[in-house]
Amino acid sequence: MSELLYTPKNAYDVFSEEELKAAYDYCEGYKKFLDNGKTERACVAYSIEIAKAKGFVEFVDGKKYAPGDKVYVNQKNKAVIFAVIGKESPEKGFNITAAHIDSPRLDIRPNPLYEDGNMAYFKTHYYGGIRKYQWTAIPLSLIGVICKKDGTTVNINIGEDENDPIFYITDLLPHLAKDAKPIHGEDLNIIIGSAYDKENKEDKIKTAVMKLLNKKYGISESDFQTAELTIVPAAKAKDVGFDRSLIGSYGHDDRVCSYPALSSLLSLENPEKTCVAVLVDKEEIGSAGITGMRSAFITDFLLALCDGYNSRVAFKNSAAVSADVSAAFDPTFASVYEKRNAAHINCGPAICKYTGHGGKAGASDACPEFIAKLAGIFDANEVMYQFCELGRIDAGGGGTVAQYIADRNIEVVDIGVAMLSMHAPYELASKTDIYMMHKLCKAFYENY
């Protein structure tokens, strides 16, 4: 009578030996994606590079496209849309996956440079939801661009190469931490140097730092005001555990869904419907801004694809997977989960009918007809999945880009890899779940 009852499945019960190997092999590509795309800008550049190798070309608004054509739209180097044109009319709807490529981090402020206590520092402003203490006493990289008034751009990437120096935020020694206060945003100051020339009179270390930067990049202090520099963890993606079944990395949220959304799209040849992968910026701070999910550039691209067909019908018939992570049950912190409705590691991508907080506030609560149709497609294509909520009622909550897709009258549900230590500088996800997310996106693109 076991069919009467629902029992969650674990990939290690279900996967064949070949499929396990395929999953682990797939994750080698994912680790490269992680290490090459620590910021949204780096992620856009790397995504376009691998898509171009698969025949994708830059989309030209107004140009006629034929089934099988592969295009991309680069939005300000910080968000990107990829599409494969389908055989069906746009009025049959688009099959869309949407994931985000920004992650919590520390941004460098417009006037960042100061010296104190024989050291030079950069002031930072944290981006997204972080637990501030986690960013102290770990190796950090500096990545970004300095846009100069003469129209040129200087690319900065220090800390990622084995031979590079790294950057550092101090923490209080335990010996003096008896009455310690929590780490605040204004405490997250980056140490950038301590040396100087004897000739320097005032601001000796600041001047020494600017001399170095001027020599290498041709910049002066005011150029920071027109820069976008971010501090991210310097650590690379690594296998975790004796069995190598997990991956530790910065930025799994949400590259762990961005990569499957992209890799599955890149594997499509002549799909029935036009398939679209949207990789957006700014999800971690509310999806606002010109590169976020709320920006018109996404609607404009879909309208351009409609090309003379009725766009209202196209949108109404479209479907989307809002591909974003969920929290996996963590036995060490069991009290914030409701075990029956929590996602579990190695049980497949987690389908979240609604997110939100305090009585589902702010949630895009997906239609049951839609989720049932998707689940049927996943069953027919041997895709594992689980249904979950983020955590215990009133323990907190969260949101995704789903609501901004629903605003466009496109049916949508959140599905993503369930992970541990979300938003930490080094997060954890499982290889079978990551691979299954690729399989899920592909089944959705090809069969919805």
Please report, as ranges, the residues that interact with Mn ion according to CB under 5 A.
Answer: 253-254, 324
User: Taking the complex as a whole, how short is the minimal distance between the CB of residue 151 and Mn ion, in angstroms?
Assistant: 34
For 116, the 3-state DSSP assignment is: strand
Q: CA–CA distance from 380 to each of 96, 117, 266, 267 (Å)? A: 20, 65, 22, 19
User: Taking the complex as a whole, how short is the minimal distance between the CB of residue 235 and Mn ion, in angstroms?
Assistant: 18
Nearer to Mn ion, 254 or 433 (CB): 254
Nearer to Mn ion, 217 or 354 (CB): 354
What is the Cα–Cα distance from 214 to 196, expressed in whole angstroms?
15
Largest Cα span, the chain: 85
User: Taking the complex as a whole, how short is the minimal distance between the CB of residue 253 and Mn ion, in angstroms?
Assistant: 4
User: Taking the complex as a whole, how short is the minimal distance between the CB of residue 104 and Mn ion, in angstroms?
Assistant: 7
Q: Is 336 exposed, middle or buried (0-12, 13-18, 19+ CB in 10 A)?
A: middle
Residue 65 tokens read as: 């496209």
Nearer to Mn ion, 125 or 216 (CB): 125
User: Taking the complex as a whole, how short is the minimal distance between the CB of residue 100 and Mn ion, in angstroms?
Assistant: 6
User: Taking the complex as a whole, how short is the minimal distance between the CB of residue 256 and Mn ion, in angstroms?
Assistant: 9
For 426, the 3-state DSSP assignment is: coil
User: Taking the complex as a whole, how short is the minimal distance between the CB of residue 140 and Mn ion, in angstroms?
Assistant: 19
Q: Crossing angle of helices 252-266/40-52, nearest 10°?
A: 20
Per DSSP, helices labelled H in 272-343 are 296-306, 311-316
Nearer to Mn ion, 411 or 427 (CB): 427
Q: Which residues pair with 156 in a beta bridge?
A: 144
What is the Cα–Cα distance from 298 to 120, expressed in whole angstroms?
42
Q: Compute the CA torsion angle 183, 189, 194, 197 (nearest 10 deg).
A: -150
User: Taking the complex as a whole, how short is the minimal distance between the CB of residue 129 and Mn ion, in angstroms?
Assistant: 7
111-144 core/surface letters (b: 16 or more CB in 10 A; e: else): ebbebeeeebbbbbeebbebebebbbebebbbbb
For 125, the 3-state DSSP assignment is: strand
Query: Sheet holding 275-280: strands in order across?
Result: 57-58, 70-75, 79-84, 275-280, 95-100, 319-323, 411-416, 350-352, 386-387
What is the Cα–Cα distance from 19 to 447, expressed in whole angstroms?
21
Nearer to Mn ion, 104 or 159 (CB): 104
What is the Cα–Cα distance from 82 to 71, expressed in whole angstroms?
6
User: Taking the complex as a whole, how short is the minimal distance between the CB of residue 402 and Mn ion, in angstroms?
Assistant: 11
Nearer to Mn ion, 40 or 254 (CB): 254
Nearer to Mn ion, 84 or 96 (CB): 96
Residue nearest to Mn ion (CB): 254
Nearer to Mn ion, 274 or 430 (CB): 430
Nearer to Mn ion, 324 or 389 (CB): 324
